[in-house]
Every structure is written in structure tokens, then in C-alpha cells.
A and B are shown apart, each in its own frame.
Chain A
Amino acid sequence: MRGAFWVLGLVLAFAPAARADVIYTESSRSGALMFKLGMFNPSDSIDEGLPAKPYETTFGDTGMLVGEIEYDHYFYQGFGAVGIGASGSYGEIYGKGLVIGDETATTEDHSGLVVAPVRLMALYNWDYAAQTWAIPLVPYLRAGAAVVPWWALQAGNVEIASGKRGAGATWGWTVTGGLMFQLDVLDPRLARDFDNDLGVNHSYVFAEYNYLRAENFGKGGLKFNVGHFMFGLSLEF
């Protein structure tokens, strides 16, 4: 509880200073680019209902590092910013293969799973406090459709099993909630120069929780029902 007061105190301490410096005319904003990193672990959903636990057996109970780039476009700016966002991400994980027909045999051959989730979302950034009172915290929400193209690799090629090709795309939906910290308050003059020279109005670091539910709406296929944190940098322009 005392920690929360300290954070609040710091935020309020920065706020007047930042407000005092805002004497220039900010360029218009149209959207943002977000660069994200996080761990993505689909093991529970892929192995759900499968006692042999194929994901965990191959890769262990670890997730894969994913990188994501999101482009946001605002079409309303007032009491917060409303718009749409599209993102693409990529992650891969490798484990050991198996000798077909001989579960006791070992092999050093690697097996991989690659995912490249794509999202199209409606977004809302509550940046009213940041724009009006220079409070450098921006909570945000995103929700929309998602598709997860995936492919399983064996010896560098897409794996074939029982005549089925190990590649596909699983559809679903996604919800994201996060909090951005506006870096401008740390050096308002630099932030203004960034805007004047490059048109970047604000820059942020952020943390978000993303929930993806991709299971082809019950029609089967590899399931990617994953909740995970992402962290990164956002540039608003």
C-alpha cells in the first residue's frame, strides 16, 4: 500500500513539471507503432485432452519467445483515442524428434513448431489524462479477431504425419489490456524535439496482458488458447 502511494507521488511530482513545459504546439497524431516481446506458451491448449502430451513431450513445458509489431490508426481523438490496430508476430520453438515405431530409440534430430499470430483489433487508449493533465500513464484495451498460422518442422521441412501436412492456420479472437508509461515526462525538451524533427508525438514503454483464444471456433485444429504478458516500446505519431 505504501508502495502505491510512492508511485502516485512520483507521477504527480512529474506531472506539474511536464505541464509547465508544454508550451509548444504538438503536431497532429494519427496512430502508433508498438514493438513487443513476450513468452507465448500454447502447451496447455495444444495438449488438452491428449494424455500423451505431444507439445510437452517434444518441447518441454516452456513457451517460445515471440516478437510482435503492431500498427494502430486512430479515427477519433477526444476522451481518449479510438481506432483499429493490426499486428503480426513470430515465435518458434525446437525440441527433439522421435523414431517412428520405436518410442525407446533416441535421435538428435530436431523438431520445431513455428507460429505467426496475426491480429486485427479495435482499440481504445485512455490518454485523456496524459493529454490534458500531463499524467504520464495511459491504460488501454484492444479486442478483435486473430488467426494463428503455424507449421511444424522436421529436418528443416514441414512435417508430414499419416499423410497430413503439419501446417495450418487457427482462427479465434483476442483481448488485450495494458498500461503505457509516457517517457516524455523524463525529458520534455527531448520529447518536443522528437516531435518537431521526426513527428513522434509521444513515446511509451508498456506492459500488457494478452489473451488469445484460437481454436477455429470449435471446429478443431491446433488450439492456441494462451494468456501471456508482453512488454515493449510504443511510438505515437
Chain B
Amino acid sequence: MRLSVALFVLAVPALAAAQVSQVDLQIGSANSVSLSKEDCGRNLTINFTLNPALILLPCSPFRVWSTTSDTCGNEPGTSDHVFYTQNLSTNTNSTGSFQLAVADLQAATGSDAGVCSAGEVEQTFLLCGAFQYETINTGCSTSSIANAKDTDPATIDFDSKPPSPPQLFEAVGHTSSLTVSLSVDEDTSTVTLTAVDTVDGTTVRKDAAAGSSANIGGLTNGHLYKVTAVAKDLAGNVSDVSNEIEGTPVEIGGFFNRYVDAGGNTGGCSATGPGSFGALALLAAAALGFRRRTAR
């Protein structure tokens, strides 16, 4: 008796932990994907898995739809777009797939314009899948119908909206480089700086992570540079060009420059002379040699 109680106590949490979503949708093999306008010609392969173990009688077709809501309901809303419908029978094959055209994603709630023809769109879609069933055969009477849906819906991030152009404030000169202070919007992931040499017309470009400053090197000291930047988001959308600022790389010196300029003696052979380090090595060798002699 005690043993059966113990087994029951152990089994209940185990069964609860073993419960899985009765519908599982994947985009390829992933649960999320980021798309931009360049993906408009693509089809996404949507793989689904149904768990028919408890299905005695299907009461509705299995449907897959996209929604811009925060959650998936038990059935598509009036503004949601249904991509796939499959009638089910008892113990329907539990896996399948279909193609979803990116261009068929609807730009906004209630809109029939696809994301690819709707101008700038920055939208997250949930990919929902659900069906109704019953475990006791009552002819799908309302009282015994249960809902099966994907409890961890896949997400599609579609972004065709470029970030705002960076705002450049100041370009501070260093040796062969400029440090540009700037601000970017939160959609920006990288910034591309362009520095044009006003003396010889050469152009230097540098990609930098989004932040409050960025450094561009490989410049000529003493030359005035005109600096602009564009911002790029994760989907690859590129902003308009920023405002233009100017900066001049300058040769920066430190203590040693001051020392040399002041007429300080660098000592000829004392400056990195291999002789100095050779003598240092001799000193260390002498110490080691003495250590060994005394150890014997």
C-alpha cells in the first residue's frame, strides 16, 4: 500500500514534466527568423508536429496563421492571416510541412497589403497553429471539446524600416585616427564611418559597433577629413547619411616625445639595446648559477 502511494507521488510530477505542446511549429529547424526586404522573394519551410496521442476525434481542421498579437489564440482572429489548413482524422500523421511565402505576411492588423509592398515595416509576427479535438466521442459536442495549440509559437521578425541616420557631434584627432562622438537610435546595430580626405580626396571606411563613439584609423596626420556615417540594423537595412563633421588627425606624443624634445639623453645603447638585455640575461644566469652551486 505504502509502495503504491509512493509510486503515485513520484509519478504525478513526472507525468506533469513530460507534458509537451500538442502542436509544434518550426521555421526550418528554428523557432525564430529575422527577415528584411531582401527576403521578399523567399519561401519559408514551416515544419509542424502534432501530438495525436489523446486525439480520439478531431473537431476542427488544423490551421496555421500569423498574428501581430502578443499571444496565439485557439483559432485565428478576424485580422489574422491563415496560411495552411489540413483536415484531421483520428490519429492523423503527426508531422508535415508547407511553404510560406514571405510576401504573404500581412503588413498590419486588418491590412491586406503584404509586408513587401507596404513601404517601411518593422513587425514581429507570431506563427500560430491550433485545432480542436475531443477525447470522448460525443460527436464534438461543445461541452467536451478541447483545444490544442502551440504554446511556444515561432516568431518572424520582418524589418524593412531603416534606422534613423546617426547624429555626429565631434571628431577628435589622434595619431592617424579620429574618434567620432555620435548618437544612434536603438534599432542600430552597426555604424559605417566614411572619412574623405579634403587634401587628396582619398576615402577611408570603417565599420563600428553601435555606441556613443567610434574610431576610424588609417588617416594622414594634418589632413582635414570630412566625416559622415550611416547606421545599419540587424536585418541589414541602411539609414540615410548622417550630418557631416570635420576633423584633423594629429600626431600625439607623450612623455618620451617631451623628453626627447627637451634634449633628454636617450643614451644610445641604453635604448632597447640588445646589449642591455643581454647583460640582464647574464645577471640572471649568474644568479641561477650561484643558486645551483649552493644547492649542491
Name the contact of B267 in the complex, choosing from A95, A162, A221 (C-beta under 8 A): A221
Task: Check if A154 sits within 8 Å of B259, measured CB to CB.
Answer: no
Q: Give per-residue flags for A210-223: 1 if the beta carbon is below 8 A from chain B beta carbons, else 0.
A: 00000010011110
Looking at the assembled complex, report how far the CB atom of A70 sits from the nearest CB atom of chain B, in whole angstroms. Answer: 12
B110 close to chain A: CB less than 8 A: no
How many A-B pairs with Cβ below 8 Å? 162
Is A100 part of the binding interface, using a Cβ–Cβ cutoff of 8 Å? yes
When the two chains form their complex, are residues B254 and A58 in contact, meaning their CB atoms are under 8 A apart? Answer: yes
Residues of A within 8 A of B (CB-CB), count: 55
Looking across the interface, which residue of chain B has its beta carbon closest to that of A53? B262
Contact in complex: A55, B271 (CB < 8 Å): no
Q: CB of A187 within 8 A of chain B?
A: no
For A149, the chain B residues whose CB sits under 8 A away are: 276-277, 280
Taking a contact as CB atoms under 8 Å apart, the answer to whether B279 and A154 are in contact is no
Q: Which of chain B's residues have a CB closer than 8 A to the CB of A100?
A: 250-253, 257
Q: A154-B252, A171-B276, A221-B265 are in contact. Are A58 and B258 (CB under 8 A)?
A: yes
**Min CB distance, A126 to chain B, in Å?**
21
Of the listed stretches B14-22, B64-72, B282-290, name the one at the interface; the rest are far from the partner chain: B282-290
- Stretch from A44-52, A131-139, A174-182, A188-196 contacting the other chain: A44-52
**B271/A221 in contact, CB under 8 A:** yes
Known A52-B261, A155-B174: A164·B254 in contact at CB below 8 Å: no
**Beta-carbon nearest neighbor of B287 in chain A:** A86
User: Are the C-beta atoms of B252 and A170 separated by less than 8 Å?
Assistant: no
A31 nearest CB across to chain B (Å): 9
Bound CA–CA A165/B270 (angstroms): 11
A147 touches which of B172, B175, B267, B283 (Cβ 8 Å): B283
Considering the complex, give the chain A residue whose CB is closest to the CB of B283: A120
7 A-B residue pairs with Cβ-Cβ distance under 8 Å, sorted by A, are A86-B287, A99-B253, A112-B254, A147-B280, A149-B280, A166-B271, A220-B267
Q: A52-B261, A147-B276, A152-B255 given. 10 additional CB < 8 A pairs?
A: A46-B264, A50-B264, A84-B287, A99-B251, A100-B252, A107-B174, A166-B255, A220-B265, A221-B270, A222-B270
Chain A contact residues, CB within 8 Å of chain B: 46, 50-55, 57-59, 73, 75, 84, 86, 95, 97-102, 105, 107-113, 118, 120, 145, 147, 149, 152-155, 159-162, 164-171, 216, 219-222
Pick the 3 closest A-B CB pairs, nearest first.
A111-B254, A221-B267, A221-B270
